[in-house]
Chains A and B, each alone.
Chain A
Amino acid sequence: MSATQNAGSSEVSRKSEVEDHDLVILGVGTGSTLAAWTFAGEGKRVAAIDRRYIGGSCPNIACLPSKNIIHSAKVASYVQRSKEFGIVHDGITIAMAGVRERKRAMVRGLNAVYLNNYKKTGAEFILGTGRSRCPWSRICGRTRSRRRVDL
């Protein structure tokens, strides 16, 4: 990324922008998140690049936030049925801001857990975009390359 910005500078500084990795992942979902942690945990030098989400869609906008909100709906349902369970109330209000905040707090917590796993395993998480300068098979997926990858 910064190599492109410094394209006009001297050869020495250009070289210093090039980093060696055993594995570079572009677009980091659940599968590649685990791959990044696993390979980094085995001592490989790993860079995981995603333009927006730590851990991909699952913990941020898909599997987990949806179940979080569905659970709030379940609680609301229980409260509405509370008389069946012997619990009486004077009427309820569903504050969607509160529903959303519980979800957001969970996502923040998961992001912290994921970042901590990156730290623990030594994999590098890069928020940004990347592109391949050599054939995909050489730098992506589970294939490890000794070729230099310019980010």
Chain B
Amino acid sequence: MESNLRAHTLSETRGFVKALVEAEGDRILGFTAFGVGAAEILSAVQIAMNAGVPYTTLRDTILTHPTLVEGLIPLFSSTPVPVTPVEFKPEAGLTEMPDQLVGR
């Protein structure tokens, strides 16, 4: 919450957000929020999880600024690179960058 700019405007920087993302995919498996407006932030992620939206969508969406839910962008931007990176092989007949590699 210390890195959430809206939380600074509210003088409510205590807390954290935490996400569990699939190691070899983009699915969000779990999410925890503790702090101001946690319930509202949870709902946004809950909808994404129920709809099977990859974490990259939340990471890349331009959310209203400055809001608490906007903190999902730095959270999901800090996701480590997968343990087994997918190799891009142009000779294999691929004409576009595989989805798994976009943005990494």
Q: Write the residues of chain A forming the contact surface with B, with a CB cutoff of 8 angstroms.
A: 58-59, 63-65, 67-68, 70-71, 102, 106, 109-110
A59 partner residues in chain B, CB cutoff 8 A? 5
A60 to B34, CA, bound (A): 27
Cβ–Cβ < 8 Å partners of A102 in chain B:
11
**In the complex, residue of chain B having the shortest beta-carbon distance to the beta carbon of A69:** B9
Q: Is the beta-carbon distance between A67 and B11 smaller than 8 angstroms?
A: no
Report the separation of the CA atoms of residues A109 and B7 in the bound assembly, to the nearest whole angstrom: 13
Q: Identify the B interface with A (CB < 8 A).
A: 5-6, 8-11, 65-66
Q: Are B8 and A106 in contact (CB under 8 A)?
A: yes
Taking CB atoms, residues of chain A closer than 8 Å to B8 are: 64, 68, 106, 109-110
What's the count of A-B pairs with C-beta under 8 Å?
26
User: How many angstroms between the C-alpha atoms of A110 and B66 in the bound complex?
Assistant: 14
A63→B11 CA distance, assembly (Å): 15
* A59 to B66 alpha-carbon distance, docked (Å): 10
Q: Are A110 and B10 in contact (CB under 8 A)?
A: no
21 A-B contacts, Cβ less than 8 Å apart? A58-B65, A59-B5, A63-B5, A63-B65, A64-B5, A64-B8, A64-B9, A64-B66, A65-B9, A67-B6, A67-B66, A68-B8, A68-B9, A70-B9, A71-B10, A71-B11, A102-B11, A106-B11, A109-B8, A110-B5, A110-B8
Whole-angstrom CA separation of A68 from B6 in the bound complex: 8
Residues of A within 8 A of B65 (CB): 58, 63
In whole angstroms, what is the CA distance A68 to B8 when docked?
A: 8
Q: Which residues of B contact A67 (CB under 8 A)?
A: 6, 9, 66
